[in-house]
Amino acid sequence: MVETVTLARSGSLAGRRMASVTELAPVARFSFRGSEATAIKLGEAFGARPAVEPCRSSVAGARSALWLGPDEWLLIATDQDAGTLFAALETALAAEPHSLVDVSHRNTGFDIVGAGGAGLLSEGCPLDFDLAAFPVGMCTQTVLGKAEIVLWRFAPLSFRLECWRSFAPYVADFLAQAADNQD
C-alpha cells in the first residue's frame, strides 16, 4: 500500500516548514552480518558494496547498503523480489561465515522530503540534522519518540525512515503531530 500524507501547512511559514511524508511500497530488505572481508564478497554479488566507514551508505542503481554496526548492514533492493535475490546472495556467500536474513516484511519505509523534513524529525530525534553533522549519505539507527528507527539522508532535503512494521502507525502519527506542533 502506498499512502501519501501531505503535512505541508498553509500560512506565511509554509515554505520553511513544508515536508511530505510518504509510506513506501514493499521492497526487498536483508539484514546482513559478517566481517568486512565477507562484506566485500557480498558487495560483488549484491552490487552495492557495504561501507566500512561507520554510519555511511553505498548505492548502486536500485541496490543500497546501509551501515548499521561494525559487522551489520541493512540491504535494500527495489529491482528484484526478495526470494530470488536471497538465493543469489546465499550462493555467493556459501563459503563465508555470515548471517543473511530476509527482513523485507519486518520494516516499513517512509520518505520524508522537503525543507521542513529535518524539523519534523527533530520533534522526536536528538540528532543534529545540519548538513555538516548529518551529510548526504549518512545513515544510522536512532530513535523517533519511543520508536527505534533507521534514518538515512539520501539527498540534502530527503530522508528515508525505516521502522519495524508494527511501529509504522505510531511513526506516521508522530510525524503528523510534529507538523501540527509546528503550525
- Site of interaction with another protein (CB under 8 A): 54-55, 68-70, 72, 126-127, 140-143, 148
What's the min distance (Å) between Cβ of 48 and another protein? 19
Q: C-beta of 116: minimal distance to another protein in Å?
A: 22
Task: Name the grid cell of 82.
Answer: 526478495
In this complex, which beta carbon is closest to another protein, that of residue 113 or of residue 150?
150
Largest CA distance in the chain: 60
CB of 127 to another protein, least distance (A): 8
Least CB distance from residue 54 to another protein, whole Å? 5
Q: Could you tell me the smallest distance in angstroms from the CB atom of residue 117 to another protein? A: 19
Q: Of 122 and 182, which CB lies nearer to another protein in the complex structure?
A: 122
Q: How many CA atoms lie within 13 A of 132 on its CB side?
A: 0
Closest CA to 24 of 5, 48, 38, 3: 3
Nearer to another protein, 68 or 179 (CB): 68
Q: Residues with Cβ < 8 Å from 1, sequence gap 6 or more? A: 23, 25
Are the CB atoms for 117 and 158 separated by under 8 Å?
yes
The H or E element containing residue 16 is helix 14-17
Smaller CB distance to another protein: residue 61 or 69? 69
Angle at 51 between CA 49 and CA 53, to 5 degrees: 165
Residue 140 and residue 153: Cα distance in Å, rounded? 9
